Amino acid sequence: MSDNRGNFSGRIGFILAAAGSAVGLGNIWKFPYLAGQNGGAIFLLVYLACVFLLCYPVMVGEIAIGRAANSDANGSYTKLGGKRWGALGTFGILAGIFILSFYNVVAGWAFGYFLHISFGDLLNETDFGGFFGAFVNDIMDVSSTKGFASSNLIFSAVFMALTAIIVSQGVQKGIEAANKIMMPALYVILIGIIIYSLTLPNAMSGVKFYLIPDFSEFRIQTVFDGLKQAFFSLSLGMGCLITYGSYLKKTDNISKSAAIISIADTSVAFLAGLMVFPLVHFLQWKLQVDNVATAGPPLIFIVLPQIFSEMGPLLGRIVGGSFFLLVCFAALTSTISLLEVPVAYFVDSKKMPRKTMVWVLAGVVFVLGLPSMVSQGMVPLLNKLPFYPFIGENKQDWLTFVADMCDISLVIGGCLMSIFISRRWKIENMHAEIELSDVGYSTSFLKKYLTFTITYIAPTLLGVLSVLVILEKFFGLSNLI
Ligand code: PHE
């Protein structure tokens, strides 16, 4: 590979960028609502177990593959394992393109909400569910009375364009520089809102729900949700960390970096819960209801704005505006990484010019996202898919369907990656790559732990769970267990 494919300036740059990829809508949008639906603390425990036992080893493996091969996802598998294994890289690149297609739509919503709250019109609402429903179907309302055009088409186009501008600047000047600003800002906003939310009435009831496990709430579904969420949240199973790992210098420590990235991502998910549940329980107290936490996907778009409006016009704008700015930052550092995966493929493996490919791919992904954008009610066919293959009474929409399929493919991708390392590339080669930048590694416990988890635990457990997750999706869990 040519040397001008780019590098991170050092370990900190890489860690910030990879943590930026990991920290995203998955942490702030998905994690709190999944925890809300899956019994709070018990979900947190399952999630942590998945990160420790399965995700960390997979992450180390992915980074090592990328750095050893010094190429994109497809190029890396091809180089280390032959053409056939290259298909696994292609599978990951496609998964990334589909993730980005719907992810950018949700990021556009967050951007729109940021504007609506900052301009104040959202805070005067009385029906937040109704607002959300109208908002997501507002594809082209350029004649809006709100002072600006509330068009999801524009919001998500702006988001994609921002992503493309950053990625087109390259690894160090674009990706690394953007993350160096947005990641610290994200932590500051997050901690600021947590401190505020903990001072609200009934906040402690939210903290209890979140931190004290109620084991009677445990269901097998919690394991599936926790596992899929952990893969999604840590950006695993689709070659993102192979690509970022390929820009890591040989002198930078892989296992420590992976540990810091995992901890950073998990801590943001944890903190997002600590921010959301006190707010939610404050609202439950205020409205004298008790089922707000289980709101599902619209949790941050319907429930939180209601809370911000309860805070009054000024404070609501400040806290609500900061919250959605936080979501935008988190989403942007992830969309950057999602776009970089296919871009790297065309630059490395197909020798295409970076800037051109960035804009071509951004355009393609944007168009691929249009069905997701109109699937929230505007186009009835996409709102309740007629061919929806999954079990469940209410047939779901295209966006949810694509998100589900992507979640499953990440778990399968992680499983195949661990098989690749243990059966094809060989674990010794992975160890050798790690040892290049870690003198104590060869005699460490970590080496044994990674050998054991990547050779035995990850292929079997992820293999079984992949099958179960597919069966559960297509045939329903109740018929199974
Ligand atoms: N990890 C990101 C999030 O939590 C999403 C993502 C998945 C990014 C896969 C890159 C690759 O929002």
Query: DSSP of 169-211, one letter per residue?
Result: T-IIIIIIHHHHHHHHHHHHHHHHHHHHHHTSTTHHHHHHHHH
**What pLDDT was estimated at residue 464?**
93
26 CB near ligand 1 (under 6 Å): yes
**What pLDDT was estimated at residue 304?**
86
Mean pLDDT over residues 433-440, rounded?
Answer: 94
The contacts of residue 428 (CB under 8 Å, 6+ apart) are none
Structure tokens given for 292: 């707000």
pLDDT digits (tens, 9 = 90+) for 466-475: 998 888 777 7
99 CB near ligand 1 (under 6 Å): yes
Mean pLDDT over residues 171-194, rounded?
Answer: 90
Residue 26 CA: nearest ligand 1 atom is 4
Mean pLDDT over residues 293-311, rounded?
Answer: 81
**What pLDDT was estimated at residue 74?**
97
* Residue of 303, 287, 272 lying closest to 210 (CA atoms): 272
Residue 95 CA: nearest ligand 1 atom is 9
Dmax of the chain from CA atoms? 67
**What pLDDT was estimated at residue 342?**
97
**What pLDDT was estimated at residue 115?**
93
Q: What is the CA radius of gyration of the chain?
A: 22
Residue 389 has pLDDT above 70, yes or no: no
163 CB near ligand 1 (under 6 Å): no
**Segment of 83-87, 136-140, 175-179, 299-303 carrying the highest mean pLDDT:** 83-87
Structure tokens given for 38: 């899956």
Spatial contact of 255 and 16, defined as CB atoms under 8 Å apart: no
The pLDDT-based confidence of 133 (bands split at 50, 70, 90) is confident
Please report which helix (H) or strand (E) contains residue 17, including its range: helix 11-22
Q: Output the residue whose Cα is nearest ligand 1's atom 7.
A: 235
115 CB near ligand 1 (under 6 Å): no
Instruction: Report d(CA 264, CA 22) in Å as an integer.
Output: 9
Residues facing residue 150 across a β-bridge:
141
**What pLDDT was estimated at residue 6?**
83
Q: State the CB neighbour count (10 A cutoff) for residue 404.
A: 15
Instruction: Report d(CA 335, CA 160) in Å as an integer.
Output: 8
Q: What whole-number percentage of the chain has pLDDT above 90?
A: 66
**What pLDDT was estimated at residue 78?**
98
The pLDDT-based confidence of 107 (bands split at 50, 70, 90) is very high
Instruction: Report d(CA 120, CA 475) in Å as an integer.
Output: 45
Mean pLDDT over residues 72-97, rounded?
Answer: 97
24 CB near ligand 1 (under 6 Å): yes
Calculate how far, in angstroms, residue 440's C-alpha sits from the geometric centre of ligand 1.
31
Please report which helix (H) or strand (E) contains residue 470, including its range: helix 458-475
The pLDDT-based confidence of 1 (bands split at 50, 70, 90) is very low
- State the distance between the two ends of the chain, measured CA to CA, in whole angstroms: 50
Q: Output the residue whose Cα is nearest ligand 1's atom 11.
A: 235
Instruction: Report d(CA 67, CA 355) in Å as an integer.
Output: 23
Distance of CA 23 to the CA centre of its chain: 6
**What pLDDT was estimated at residue 471?**
84
Q: Please indicate whether residue 479 or residue 122 has the higher confidence score (pLDDT).
A: 122
Q: State the CB neighbour count (10 A cutoff) for residue 82.
A: 10
Residue 337 CA: nearest ligand 1 atom is 10
Give the phi and the psi of residue 378 in degrees, each rounded to 5.
-65, -45
25 CB near ligand 1 (under 6 Å): yes
Q: State the CB neighbour count (10 A cutoff) for residue 256.
A: 17
pLDDT digits (tens, 9 = 90+) for 209-234: 889 988 888 888 899 899 999 999 99
Q: Which of 332, 337, 340 to mutate to test the pocket of ligand 1 (most atoms within 8 A of CB)?
A: 337
**What pLDDT was estimated at residue 390?**
62
pLDDT digits (tens, 9 = 90+) for 31-58: 988 988 888 899 999 999 999 999 999 9
Mean pLDDT over residues 285-312, rounded?
Answer: 81
Helix spans in 142-297 (H): 152-168, 177-198, 203-211, 220-233, 240-245, 254-287
Mean pLDDT over residues 241-264, rounded?
Answer: 96
Spatial contact of 435 and 428, defined as CB atoms under 8 Å apart: no
Instruction: Report d(CA 419, CA 427) in Å as an integer.
Output: 10
Q: Output the residue whose Cα is nearest ligand 1's atom 9.
A: 235
403 CB near ligand 1 (under 6 Å): no
**What pLDDT was estimated at residue 392?**
58
Spatial contact of 50 and 230, defined as CB atoms under 8 Å apart: yes
Structure tokens given for 441: 């590694």
22 CB near ligand 1 (under 6 Å): yes
pLDDT digits (tens, 9 = 90+) for 25-38: 999 989 988 988 88
268 CB near ligand 1 (under 6 Å): no
Mean pLDDT over residues 84-108, rounded?
Answer: 97
- Helix, coil or strand: residue 290: coil
Distance of CA 364 to the CA centre of its chain: 20
Whole-number Cα distances in Å, 338 to 21, 114, 303, 393: 8, 22, 28, 32
Share the mean pLDDT of the chain.
Answer: 90
Mean pLDDT over residues 86-96, rounded?
Answer: 97
Calculate how far, in angstroms, residue 234's C-alpha sits from the geometric centre of ligand 1.
6
Instruction: Report d(CA 18, CA 396) in Å as an integer.
Output: 32
Spatial contact of 168 and 358, defined as CB atoms under 8 Å apart: yes
**What pLDDT was estimated at residue 119?**
86
pLDDT digits (tens, 9 = 90+) for 341-354: 999 999 999 999 99
Q: State the CB neighbour count (10 A cutoff) for residue 380.
A: 10
Calculate how far, in angstroms, residue 331's C-alpha sits from the geometric centre of ligand 1.
8
Instruction: Report d(CA 316, CA 319) in Å as an integer.
Output: 5
**What pLDDT was estimated at residue 4?**
64
**What pLDDT was estimated at residue 141?**
66
Q: Which of 97-101, 274-278, 293-297 has the lowest mean pLDDT?
A: 293-297
**What pLDDT was estimated at residue 2?**
42
Instruction: Report d(CA 480, CA 216) in Å as an integer.
Output: 20
235 CB near ligand 1 (under 6 Å): yes
* Residue of 421, 107, 407, 350 lying closest to 235 (CA atoms): 407
Cα dihedral sign for 350, 21, 321, 403?
positive
Instruction: Report d(CA 157, CA 369) in Å as an integer.
Output: 10
* Residue of 418, 1, 8 lying closest to 247 (CA atoms): 8
- Helix, coil or strand: residue 52: helix
Q: Output the residue whose Cα is nearest ligand 1's atom 10.
A: 235
93 CB near ligand 1 (under 6 Å): no
Q: Which of 95-99, 287-291, 374-378, 393-397 has the lowest mean pLDDT?
A: 393-397
SS (H, E, C) 380-419: HHHHCCCCCCCCCCCCCCHHHHHHHHHHHHHHHHHHHHHH
**What pLDDT was estimated at residue 126?**
86
